């Protein structure tokens, strides 16, 4: 029987006066929290951390975006024995994107604990580095179920020392057909462990897991409030990580901003990006934790009075920064959670003014973009990189705006100097104007060919990258197509080839099992997989023809329900 701790606190509200220092966390963890810019715990953190610190099993019912990763990562890191180089923490996640996100969060929170190592285990990546990290004694394992079962087939004692188990987004794991894999994992772990389960919903299947595998769990339920950000226009651009600086430079060419704050995750990034912008003539400064307080105050004052137009900052360094003339917030690096995103972009659109928030998203960060949209209740529109023509038009527009008041200014005209210069240089007024224009625009091209030469070529997203955006469950991929035998396979979907596995209904396999394994081990999106047909002694799966051999190579060691998948191209002749 679970003991429910009911609360109707909304995300972003603080019904209780509390902060992280009152929750009994390890000093090194507290230092890391400060470094990443967390100021006060969210409701799910306030309720969950004391329970986990006290050793209780727990069910957390909360939506993604409520801060639940920190709710379990912070207390668990505070309780592990960093001197023991063995697996102590296992976090199970339904997708490799979430596994990477959780592993990154653990690394951030353990930044002041150099003896703690984190490894992410997921399909679509080489086994070698994962095996090496495990052998070297990583204390925290963040894994997708399918790949972890594969590791267990090689090393049955892998989880024998685990003291803390977290099931993150448990309902999603079951939707993807990981129930059998979860049972294999449960059986490979010590009975004496602390188990924490997070799920947005609590269907009967999740309650069944709780009754079987959790000991007198406490129940924390948090109602997530939809956040809205008024008067702020939001947009995102998909880029690869190594294209960020060039993307920033291009976007700044066309954005009409008064003052801007750009957010990055590291101190070094503040310096690198500020230097790149300064080289292009922008009035910019870096703001990070190494900046002395008096210098920080000078930077903020300069931003307020117009001596600076751009500040590149980390979250913690920007704390308390309130400059009314900020028209743009540029999320150059993705924030760690939706609350940080809302907090960041709230620095514009103040005092009744409109604001604009830009966000760079790498392929691995699509999931967090979707979470941000869900939590804020607003769509973050996608934009494209401006081309040379658009950049040229923007430059001409800015030059025109700069010269217009000077042309109209009658008081500061100097006809005597004009006459002197045209005589001294033996040139016409038009030639003198062209020379002065060239001096004014020095360092920037004002022809289409010149602008094109200036712009670095940014590699377009791959076909796989584009397909991954906004992926939705395949119409047939989650349906058990084997409810009746068919002598002939169904017609192929366009761009797909049919592959065969010897696993079928007699092996207890359903379409959802195959779907979950292929999604996570192969690194595909749901709509990349076509029909799945389950037969008694085998199954057929439609996979993308492009890159098929590489995909089958990724899947060669995959197991479903403890049995080898062994997908092969299906020859119908």
For 20-37, how does the pLDDT look when each residue is reduced to its tens digit (9 = 90+)?
888 999 999 999 888 777
CATH 3.30.70.330 spans which residues of the chain? 463-569
227 pLDDT tier (thresholds 50, 70, 90): low
Distance CA 76, CA 165 (A): 10
Taking domain 463-569, whether its CATH number is 3.30.70.330 is answered by yes
Taking domain 232-385, whether its CATH number is 3.20.20.70 is answered by no
Distance CA 210, CA 495 (A): 42
Distance CA 344, CA 261 (A): 9
* H helical segments located in 409-523: 415-425, 429-440, 448-454, 463-468, 511-522
Mean pLDDT of 37-65: 86
pLDDT at 189: 94
pLDDT at 30: 92
pLDDT at 64: 63
The phi, psi pair for 564, rounded to 5°, reads: -65, 135
Top CATH class, 3-221? alpha beta
Distance CA 284, CA 325 (A): 15
**Which residue from 373, 398, 403, 362 is spatially nearest to 255, judged by alpha carbons?**
398
Q: Report the percent of the chain where pLDDT is more than 90.
A: 29
The overall pTM is greater than 0.85 = no
Over its C-alpha atoms, the chain yields an Rg (Å, rounded) of: 28
107 Ramachandran zone, left/alpha/beta (phi>0; psi -120 to 50): alpha
* Residue 507 token pair: 């092996």
Residue 184 has pLDDT above 90, yes or no: yes
CATH 3.40.50.300 spans which residues of the chain? 3-221, 232-385
Distance CA 209, CA 201 (A): 13
CA distances to 45, 66, 131, 345 from 12, rounded to whole Å, are 12, 9, 40, 15
* Residue 175 token pair: 């939707």
**Cα four-point dihedral sign 557, 560, 566, 571:** negative
Q: Is 542 helix (H, G, I), strand (E, B) or coil?
A: strand
CA distances to 413, 421, 433, 435 from 409, rounded to whole Å, are 7, 20, 17, 21
* Residue 410 token pair: 């009658």
Residue 312 has pLDDT above 90, yes or no: yes
Residue 193 has pLDDT above 90, yes or no: yes
For the ranges 25-34, 328-337, 485-494, the lowest mean pLDDT is seen at 485-494
Is 9 in contact with 58 (CB distance < 8 Å)?
no
For 73-86, how does the pLDDT look when each residue is reduced to its tens digit (9 = 90+)?
999 999 999 999 99
* Residue 378 token pair: 């607003």
């Amino acid at each position: 029987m679970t003991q429910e701790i009911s609360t109707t606190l909304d995300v972003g509200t603080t019904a209780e006066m509390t902060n992280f220092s009152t929750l009994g966390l390890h000093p090194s963890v507290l230092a890391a929290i400060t470094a990443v810019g967390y100021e006060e715990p969210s409701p799910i953190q306030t309720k969950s951390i004391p329970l986990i610190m006290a050793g209780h099993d727990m069910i957390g019912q909360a939506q993604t975006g409520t801060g639940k990763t920190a709710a379990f990562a912070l207390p668990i890191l505070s309780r592990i024995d960093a001197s023991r180089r063995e697996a102590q923490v296992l976090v199970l996640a339904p997708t490799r994107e979430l596994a990477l996100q959780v592993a990154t969060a653990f690394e951030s929170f353990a930044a002041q604990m150099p003896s703690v190592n984190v490894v992410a285990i997921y399909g679509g990546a080489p086994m070698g580095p994962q095996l090496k990290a495990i052998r070297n004694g990583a204390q925290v394992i963040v894994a997708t179920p399918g790949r972890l079962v594969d590791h267990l087939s090689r090393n049955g004692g892998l989880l024998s020392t685990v003291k803390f188990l977290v099931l993150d987004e448990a309902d999603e794991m079951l939707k993807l057909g990981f129930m059998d894999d979860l049972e294999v994992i449960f059986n490979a772990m010590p009975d004496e462990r602390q188990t924490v389960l997070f799920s947005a919903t609590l269907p009967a299947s999740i309650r069944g897991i709780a009754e079987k595998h959790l000991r007198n769990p406490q129940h924390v339920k948090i109602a997530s409030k939809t956040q809205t950000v008024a008067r702020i226009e939001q947009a995102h651009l998909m880029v690869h990580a190594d294209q960020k600086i060039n993307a920033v430079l291009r976007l700044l060419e066309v954005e009409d901003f008064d003052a801007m704050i750009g957010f990055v995750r590291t101190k070094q990034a503040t310096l690198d990006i500020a230097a790149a912008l300064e080289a292009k003539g922008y009035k910019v400064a870096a703001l990070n934790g190494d900046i002395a307080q008096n210098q920080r105050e000078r930077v903020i004052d300069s931003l307020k009075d117009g001596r600076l137009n751009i500040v590149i900052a980390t979250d913690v360094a920007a704390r308390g920064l309130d400059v009314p003339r900020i028209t743009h917030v540029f999320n150059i690096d993705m924030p760690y959670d939706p609350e940080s995103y809302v907090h960041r972009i709230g620095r514009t659109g103040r005092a009744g003014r409109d604001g604009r928030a830009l966000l760079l998203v790498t392929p691995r960060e699509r999931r967090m973009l979707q979470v941000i949209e869900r939590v804020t209740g607003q769509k973050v529109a996608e934009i494209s990189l401006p081309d040379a023509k658009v950049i040229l038009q923007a430059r001409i527009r800015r030059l025109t705006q700069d010269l217009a008041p000077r042309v109209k200014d009658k008081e500061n005209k100097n006809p005597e100097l004009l006459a002197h210069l045209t005589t001294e240089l033996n040139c016409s007024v038009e030639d003198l104007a062209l020379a002065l224009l060239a001096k004014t625009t020095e360092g920037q091209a004002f022809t289409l060919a010149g602008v094109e030469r200036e712009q670095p070529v940014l590699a377009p997203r791959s076909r796989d990258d584009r397909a991954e955006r906004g992926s939705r469950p395949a119409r047939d991929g989650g349906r058990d197509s084997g409810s009746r035998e068919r002598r002939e396979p169904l017609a192929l979907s366009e761009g797909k080839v049919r592959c065969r596995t010897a696993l079928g209904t007699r092996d207890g396999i359903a379409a959802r099992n195959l779907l979950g394994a292929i999604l996570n081990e192969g690194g595909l999106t749901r709509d990349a997989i076509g029909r799945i047909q389950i037969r008694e002694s085998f199954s057929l799966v439609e996979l993308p023809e492009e890159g098929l051999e590489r995909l089958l190579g990724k899947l060669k060691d995959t197991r479903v329900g403890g049995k080898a998948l062994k997908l092969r191209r299906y020859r119908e002749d």
